[in-house]
């Protein structure tokens, strides 16, 4: 279990700076794109690079949100019931359904990635292979599965993981 925590901490230490750099790069590219269009001389192919960066930015960010349990959720069960057993059953059900959907998403993402590799498709301006951006979907879906399995195990054991702060585990 300690090996998984160490690998997770290392992964987060790698992803955080990537997200910062890519986020700043996307913002800069957006400003440059708007500014050059206003001047009447748009940068040819900028959208291709932005698409690649945004795909990875969004998917890595979503994976970190899954890790830190900070993604959007509608936990109305706690509003309509005061029974902790009902909360636990709802949490188990919700996590199990999310895991099933993540597995389906992963198979779809793998099929898309494989299709991109087989076809050898690339962007029109710079010839960047499409599978580079498509692979972000598969990488994120695998991370979703790992974190959902973790969450499901916590739910099954009845551990109150919601009181912890996974972000503090790597700091």
The pTM score is 0.82
**pLDDT at 124 > cutoff 50:** yes
Q: Which residue range(s) make up the domain with 117?
A: 2-169
Listed residue (11, 103, 104, 25) closest to 57, CA to CA: 25
> What phi and psi values does residue 28 have, to the nearest 5 degrees?
-65, -45
Q: How confident is the model at residue 101 (pLDDT cuts 50, 70, 90)?
A: very high
pLDDT of residue 164: 45
- pLDDT tens digits for range 61-77: 999 999 988 876 667 77
Q: Do residues 45 and 125 touch, judged by C-beta distance below 8 A?
A: yes
pLDDT of residue 171: 43
Q: What does the alpha-carbon distance between residue 164 and residue 139 come to, in Å, rounded to a whole number?
A: 25
Place of tokens 């790597």: 170
How large is the angle between the packed helices 2-38 and 46-68, nearest 10 degrees? 150
> What phi and psi values does residue 129 have, to the nearest 5 degrees?
-60, 135
**pLDDT at 110 > cutoff 50:** yes
Q: What is the mean pLDDT of the chain?
A: 88
CA distances to 1, 40, 108 from 56, in Å? 28, 29, 17
Residues forming a β-bridge with 145: none
Domain total in the chain? 1
Q: How confident is the model at residue 160 (pLDDT cuts 50, 70, 90)?
A: low
**pLDDT at 161 > cutoff 70:** no
């Amino acid at each position: 279990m300690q090996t998984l925590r160490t690998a997770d901490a290392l992964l987060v230490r790698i992803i955080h700076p990537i997200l910062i750099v890519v986020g700043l790069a996307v913002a800069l590219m957006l400003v440059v794109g708007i500014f050059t269009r206003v001047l009447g001389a748009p940068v040819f192919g900028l959208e291709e690079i932005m698409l690649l960066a945004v795909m990875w930015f969004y998917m890595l960010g979503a994976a970190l949100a899954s890790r830190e349990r900070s993604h959007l959720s509608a936990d109305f069960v706690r509003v309509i019931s005061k029974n902790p057993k009902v909360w636990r059953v709802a949490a188990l059900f919700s996590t199990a359904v999310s895991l099933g959907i993540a597995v389906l998403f992963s198979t779809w993402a793998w099929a898309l990635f494989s299709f991109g590799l087989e076809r050898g498709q690339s962007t029109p301006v710079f010839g960047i292979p499409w599978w580079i951006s498509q692979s972000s979907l598969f990488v994120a879906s695998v991370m979703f599965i790992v974190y959902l399995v973790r969450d499901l195990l916590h739910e099954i054991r009845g551990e109150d993981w919601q009181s912890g702060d996974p972000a503090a585990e790597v700091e």
